[in-house]
């Protein structure tokens, strides 16, 4: 079992990789600007924006997604003081999906939307949320790895697991109805009405679980 210092190093590593991955998202756009600036007659900025609207939107979407993924990872590991090989490998797997995400982002921006491009993008996001759900479930079952009085709750597990479920639905929709393409990601909005139903029950469960 890793010491608290070992956990800190794991978290620092995770944060650093997420920061690098989120930075890599903008590099294809920077390369386009650099290549255009080297021409004898660079295009106007308005033309650049119009010609690369797809890449700009893909960058914005993936920036928000990686930021949300990192925030969820940060919250779930915030009170971990001891680690195990299982937890470390789950987190390293999660880091791999973060490193991978700039690639499907670039595919999304460059290639016309198709069943394959949509599947690659959503599947990468799904793998990330499934691994994060695995981390939260593992910590929920091993409260001794966290600070006393601050174990992972079922509410936290639900918050992450519901996002994974949303990506599962989105992927299924994209495969069943290919013409909707990235609009299948709207399935993630289903988490909000489900939260209103599930969270009150989980709060009651947590109240019963927590000793007086």
pTM value is 0.84
Check whether 14 has a pLDDT greater than 80. yes
Q: How far apart (Å, rounded) are the C-alpha atoms in residues 145 and 183?
A: 40
Q: How far apart (Å, rounded) are the C-alpha atoms in residues 12 and 1?
A: 18
Share of residues in the chain with pLDDT > 70 (%): 96
In this predicted model, what pLDDT tens digit does every residue of 180-204 receive, in sequence order? 988 999 998 988 888 888 888 888 8
What are 80's strand-pairing partners?
146
Among 25-34, 39-48, 158-167, 168-177, the range with the most confident prediction by mean pLDDT is: 168-177
Provide mean pLDDT across the span 162-177.
Answer: 94
Share of residues in the chain with pLDDT > 90 (%): 43
**pLDDT of 47:** 83
In this predicted model, what pLDDT tens digit does every residue of 102-143 receive, in sequence order? 899 888 888 888 999 999 999 999 999 999 999 999 999 999
**pLDDT of 2:** 56
Provide mean pLDDT across the span 77-85.
Answer: 90
**C-alpha distance across the termini of the chain, in Å:** 30
**CB atoms closer than 10 angstroms to residue 67:** 12
**pLDDT of 177:** 95
């Amino acid at each position: 079992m890793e010491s608290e210092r070992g956990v800190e190093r794991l978290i620092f590593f995770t944060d650093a990789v997420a920061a690098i991955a989120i930075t890599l998202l903008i590099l294809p756009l920077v390369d386009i600007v650099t290549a255009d600036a080297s021409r004898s007659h660079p295009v106007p900025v308005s033309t650049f924006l119009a010609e690369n609207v797809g890449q700009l939107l893909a960058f914005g979407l993936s920036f928000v997604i990686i930021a949300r993924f990192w925030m969820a990872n940060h919250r779930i590991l915030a009170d971990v003081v001891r680690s195990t090989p299982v937890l470390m490998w789950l987190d390293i797997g999660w880091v791999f999906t973060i490193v991978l995400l700039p690639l499907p982002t670039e595919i999304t921006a460059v290639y016309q939307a198709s069943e394959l491009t949509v599947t690659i993008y959503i599947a990468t996001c799904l793998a990330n949320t499934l691994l994060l759900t695995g981390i939260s479930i593992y910590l929920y079952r091993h409260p001794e790895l966290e600070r006393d009085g601050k174990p992972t709750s079922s509410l936290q597990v639900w918050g992450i697991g519901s996002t994974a479920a949303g990506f599962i639905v989105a992927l299924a929709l994209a495969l069943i109805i290919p013409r909707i393409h990235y609009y299948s990601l709207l399935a993630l909005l289903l988490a909000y009405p489900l939260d209103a139903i599930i969270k009150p029950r989980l709060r009651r469960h947590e109240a019963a679980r927590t000793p007086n």
